[in-house]
Amino acid sequence: METAALASIHWHDERFKYDCEARNQKVEQACFHHFFGKNEMTIVDLGSGTGSNCLYFFEKFPSNQNWIFIEQEEKVSQYALNRLGIEADKRGYEVIHGERSLALKKEDRNITIEYITDSFLNLVDLVDLDNVDLVMASAVFDLITFSQFVDFGSVLLEKKLPLLTTLNYAEMDFNSDSPSDVVFIEKYESFMNRPQEFGKAMGKKCPRILVDFFQKQEATVEYGPSIWKLEGESAQVMNHHLLNFMEAASNQMIEEEEEMMLFKDWITSKRESIEDEVLSTYVQYYDLFVTNN
């Protein structure tokens, strides 16, 4: 059976292409403009996963970079360093592996990456924020409560730390006219927003909540949608991933036996549509860049 760590690795790797294509260019350019002229940056990546943010940005940011990954799964962080080393080698970098770190060198570019195995909610105890230029995160804030984010966001505002984040889910739709789509997507969204041990996660409301929070604190917020378009044979794996997530949640989001039978029929028909290459899925995220100068 696939471990949670391996499942996370496969999911992050598979989604990388779609994340890159979906990034909101207006938000991205606001970030680049903010750091224009800097020669060195220290970036903290929260819930860094397999290093996709670093892989996307390390040749776009200034020539000297210090990355600090904060990730709860040590195996995932180790995989991230190996992945980044392989990709950097392909691009002509000298790659130096440490026990929990990686150094990349090419001409005038010097990039160091290290990881910390912990929860990003403990950020203030893990990193000297006075020496950080940018905090980055993808698909993590949706999973926590509003009160947890207020505590976290207040630290960023106090330290005047810019934040670049992708919020993982705003809405999803299939290219079909089945009424069941609406029913089961809403069920899944309720599951994502369910109360947990630590409280009720923000779920799909997260983009609106975060924009409102930062704007009320008079921070500058550049934000906009980033949209996955999963179509055709090349997107079959990703479409299966999304349906697998819904199926895994079904026992918690559906109580009645009759409705569960309808769900099983529905998800079977969706999988058949994937194999027939007629299913298209649209998932909308939001990108935010926040500054508080």
Residue 3 pLDDT greater than 70, yes or no: no
Delimit the domains of the chain by residue range: 4-174+198-231+282-291
Q: What is the pTM (predicted TM-score) of this model? A: 0.90
pLDDT bucket at 5, cuts 50 / 70 / 90: low
Q: Give pLDDT, residue 1.
A: 37
Overall average pLDDT of the 6-25 stretch: 82
pLDDT bucket at 226, cuts 50 / 70 / 90: very high
Higher-pLDDT residue of 283, 1: 283
User: For the chain, what percent of residues have pLDDT higher than 90?
Assistant: 68
Overall average pLDDT of the 242-264 stretch: 91
Q: Give pLDDT, residue 141.
A: 87
Q: Give pLDDT, residue 38.
A: 92
pLDDT bucket at 6, cuts 50 / 70 / 90: low
Q: Give pLDDT, residue 7.
A: 61
Q: Give pLDDT, residue 100.
A: 95
Residue 214 pLDDT greater than 50, yes or no: yes
pLDDT digits (tens, 9 = 90+) for 33-82: 999 999 999 999 999 999 999 999 999 999 999 999 999 999 999 999 99
CATH number given to 4-174+198-231+282-291: 3.40.50.150
pLDDT digits (tens, 9 = 90+) for 127-175: 999 999 999 998 888 888 889 999 999 999 999 999 999 987 788 999 9
pLDDT bucket at 109, cuts 50 / 70 / 90: very high
Question: What is the chain's mean pLDDT, rounded?
Answer: 91
- The strand order across the sheet containing 101-106 reads 94-97, 101-106, 109-117, 64-71, 40-46, 134-138, 163-174, 281-291, 220-230
Judge contact between 119 and 198, C-beta under 8 A: no
